Structure 1
């Protein structure tokens, strides 16, 4: 197998995040389902933006957050996602490259604006997302560079990519190239509502071996198998995929494989501020552990550490050096 150029290459919806602290009343006034992700059009995006208070803005998108976390651990990271050649698109590109991520997807010259997600964070740290996909929907199979994909040890895909039709083709093309080069493919289920939309297709991707590793939180796992019994869902997950990782908030995570089930505790925190990006950063730590051959337990600990860093401040990007944090906690990076 050829030497890898990257440790992890992520493919996802390139979305510019606009985060704001708000209250339950704002959510109900705007007809939002707390804790979920809704796809919105440009007009609704404009009305939410008009009504919300001062915001924190940064480049985002689920897989992009994970890839930035991977770079933060000192691993070699690359990202594929579509922005428009507009002000926000240029800001997005600068932001992700400044985080140490290789990002070379050609921007769209026309069509919809760069995608944005309006993320409302309530006092309990819960985030409610309203996403305008915009240019992210313009990602196609042509944006997948075979050499770049084949040069990554792990290709990481987000479930949200299943919303835009052309991105599905890009997703499958990337998985095919990766497997052809002897690489691994990971998928995050992204959101319980996303699972409800595409349950059968996600199960098919797992059962056919299009993906090797699946990340899910408890809500996504229950949605996938339409059962409220955790153990039943976990047993099924072990049958359906080579490696399944289930995050359980303060209860830590479960790593399920043919070899058995490993439970890893959550990392302690001082205070919960914003859960945005918790799952994304967990995946970053876990994937770094995998590419470093650190074992499932250490991979889970790296994931828990990265998640604990990001939930103690606003935004889905780490503020501390994850590499230094890992060293301080005696974890391999």
Structure 2
């Protein structure tokens, strides 16, 4: 299969690179209980579906949607983080991955390009682009149904040293199915002097492939690790000490920066011997929790890039994470970037010098 990559010789290397092996389109819609009752599987969480199931859900959505139209956007954890850094913080970012030669693939590439993210490391392949249906109930809880099985994605052998040259950070999301390409990306990143940030993805992912994950963490190649409370609990399940503090301690033994987010209770973080506990931002109304952790990572990384203290990095993350949950989907609206900037001002934190 021949993969086309756009030329990147004329552009400066992005400061932050994200690895999203398979480009993904999110189909986000507000729904009521009656539709959720017709979708196979439990409410909440994420269960993979086949193409015919995805088409069935999208067809059902078209007959049910009355409150607001279906929103389609480039999705995926890493996508959300690098797009947030670009649009909300003015940081030069790029994305590495593959997209299909279909309508969804074109939408992914154009959405990222429009957001200022360099797409010259995206490979176009013959085949379909991954999709996910994100159903959001009136409480802001989401039910995810991703369709990934037949989607094109980048392979480890397609990466090159030049993809990473000149950048400073590589952003990853843990997935055991993508472990080979993740490991290849880390090898190139370390050869080129990049720091590596890893998100633990989901408690199911941690539970089902804990030994591979712990081996990755214990390699010493992960500089920054983000875990939410459920992922943290799963990571150290069965050990004498449990709880987020014990998970933070485990992560900090292997990573320079460790962060455990605690939802409405804020977050805890550790760097060297410093530990901070930062409360959640109180002024945010949750419409849709999609992307909260991804945008927290955007803010935290921006803080590190700007040389802020550990506590300040957490506070910026709290503001950016709070901004995305005020609307549907993992892409922050212009109004909510303005809301974030106001929160940063109120907390005497640096406001990005860009116009959203």
TM-score (norm 1): 0.90
Aligned position for 2:5 = none
- Contact 2:17–2:169 (Cα < 8 Å) also in 1: yes
1:270 deviates by: 4.5
1:134 deviates by: 5.1
Q: 2:191 aligns with which of 176, 180, 187?
A: 180
- Contact 2:160–2:188 (Cα < 8 Å) also in 1: no
CA distance 1:316–1:91, shift in 2 (3 Å): same
Aligned position for 1:139 = 154
CA distance 1:108–1:308, shift in 2 (3 Å): same
Aligned position for 1:119 = 134
- Contact 1:82–1:135 (Cα < 8 Å) also in 2: no
1:222 deviates by: 0.8
Aligned position for 1:241 = 255
Separation in structure 2 between the aligned mates of residue 265 and residue 304 of structure 1, nearest angstrom: 8
Separation in structure 1 between the aligned mates of residue 24 and residue 17 of structure 2, nearest angstrom: 17
Runs of 4+ that moved beyond 4 A: 134-137, 322-327
1:295 deviates by: 1.9
Structure 1: which 5+ runs fail to align?
none
User: 1:200-215 maps to which residues of 2 (within 5 A)?
Assistant: 200-215=211-226
- Aligned CA RMSD, in angstroms, stands at 2.1
CA distance 1:26–1:222, shift in 2 (3 Å): farther
Q: Report whether the alignment pairs 1:195 with 2:210.
A: no
- Contact 2:316–2:344 (Cα < 8 Å) also in 1: no
How many aligned residue pairs are there?
A: 324
User: 1:1-333 maps to which residues of 2 (within 5 A)?
Assistant: 5-12=13-20, 13-52=22-61, 53-54=64-65, 55-72=70-87, 73-104=89-120, 105-109=122-126, 111=127, 113-133=128-148, 136-160=151-175, 162-163=176-177, 167-226=178-237, 229-320=243-334, 321=337, 324-325=341-342, 328-329=345-346, 330-332=348-350, 333=352
Separation in structure 2 between the aligned mates of residue 126 and residue 143 of structure 1, nearest angstrom: 37
Separation in structure 2 between the aligned mates of residue 85 and residue 226 of structure 1, nearest angstrom: 43
Separation in structure 2 between the aligned mates of residue 34 and residue 225 of structure 1, nearest angstrom: 26
Separation in structure 2 between the aligned mates of residue 116 and residue 225 of structure 1, nearest angstrom: 32
- Contact 2:24–2:74 (Cα < 8 Å) also in 1: yes
Separation in structure 1 between the aligned mates of residue 300 and residue 263 of structure 2, nearest angstrom: 15
Structure 2: which 5+ runs fail to align?
1-11
* Structure 2 counterpart SS, 1:39: coil
1:116 deviates by: 0.5
* Structure 1 counterpart SS, 2:118: strand
1:33 deviates by: 3.0
1:136 deviates by: 4.9
Separation in structure 2 between the aligned mates of residue 137 and residue 199 of structure 1, nearest angstrom: 26
Separation in structure 1 between the aligned mates of residue 208 and residue 34 of structure 2, nearest angstrom: 28
Larger radius of gyration: 2
TM-score (norm 2): 0.85
